[in-house]
Structure 1
Amino acid sequence: MFNPTRDQVREFFMTTWQKHLEKSVLSPIEATALKWILEHPEYHALLSSAEAKQQDFTVSGGQVNPFLHLSMHLAIEEQVSINSPPGIKAIFEQLSQRRNPHDAMHEIMECLGQVIWESQRLGTPLNNELYMDLLQKRLA
């Protein structure tokens, strides 16, 4: 299983952005990442900053970690594309009809973040049942 380090994740997004600026050819995963980078212009300057590789983003400081945020976009897009966990594609489509695909992604991201936090807190695998329950509540 692919398990990149913090530095590898940051390098991936920063390199993808740089390649875009230079009009270089992107790999398929970079093209997908670029789609989400372009949806978040508030991250563009950061992705061009060498200091971003070492920057800490703390919840207590009211900061969103842009690398985590973009990574979650990629993860959710993959989940939806393969419909895993089963049913997530239909939920995404329903949420997208209510608002737009980007906002739907963010709603799913909140649920995924909660499930990840719970998994880390308890030291257990991700709970897909909880994840799907949280997503179903978004539809209600």
Structure 2
Amino acid sequence: MFNPSRDQARRFLFDTWAKHKQNAPLTDLERMAFAVLARHPEYQVIVDTPDRYLDKDYLPEFGETNPFLHMNMHLAIEEQLSIDQPTGVRDLYRRLCEYTGDEHSAQHEMMDCLAEMIWQAQRSGTGPDGSLYLACMRRKAGLAEN
């Protein structure tokens, strides 16, 4: 899924959930997405009703959390961990798991770092900086900066 549109990213989650419910075989990426969905039962009603949620906007100024952004950030982190990209992210994730005591909480800490890296890239007009991401993760894991 290289650079999907908002609708394509949402449809991927809808389709993955539908395939799971039909006991259809899932691709490796769909299995990753399903694992994210399984950890978030509060979002399953959303992926179960694509007609209602495909075009829904989630506005932070109204205190709304975007469940699709949340799930896709988990998926991005799962992909990063599967290939250890940026290099060292897998080890820092393990450290965060130890620090937080929970894999899901560790991923939420990583999400904060991922969002910060993306925001910095947008603000500066540059590409994402993996070193900023890893430095943020080190801080969250209580590790001293190198």
Same fold (TM over 0.5): yes
In the other structure, the counterpart of 1:8 is 8
Structure 2 distance, partners of 1:133, 1:13, is 30
**What do residues 65-103 of structure 1 show as CA deviations (whole Å, max 9, x unaligned)?**
111111111111111222111211111011112311111
Alignment-derived partner of residue 102 in structure 2:
100
- Give the equivalent residue in structure 1 for 2:122: 120
**CA–CA separation in structure 2 for the residues paired with 1:123 and 1:57:** 25
Q: What is the rounded CA distance, in whole Å, between the counterparts of 2:141 and 2:45 in structure 1?
A: 35
Q: Distance in 2 between matches of 1:82 and 1:27?
A: 17
The separation in 2 between residues aligned to 1:84 and 1:125, in whole angstroms, is 15
Please state how far the C-alpha of 1:127 moved relative to its aligned partner: 1.3
Q: Secondary structure at the match of 2:60?
A: coil
2: CA distance, partners of 1:129 / 1:27: 31
Question: Secondary structure in 2 aligned to 1:118?
Answer: helix
SS class of match (1:84): coil
- Normalising by structure 1, what TM-score? 0.94
Report the equivalent of 1:88.
89
Once residues 81 and 12 of structure 1 are traced to their aligned partners in structure 2, the CA distance between those partners, rounded to angstroms, is: 19
Structure 1 outlier segments of 4+, above 4 Å: none
After TM superposition, list the pairs within 5 Å mapping 1:21-60 onto structure 2.
21-49=21-49, 50-60=51-61
Deviates more, 1:6-15 or 1:66-75: 66-75
- Structure 1 regions of 5+ residues with no counterpart? none
Q: Which runs of 5+ in 2 are unaligned?
A: none
Cα deviation, residue 122, structure 1: 2.1
Q: How far 1:121 moved relative to its partner?
A: 2.1
Are 2:16 and 2:26, in contact at CA under 8 Å, matched by a contact in 1? yes
Tell me if structure 1 keeps the 8 A contact 2:96–2:137.
no
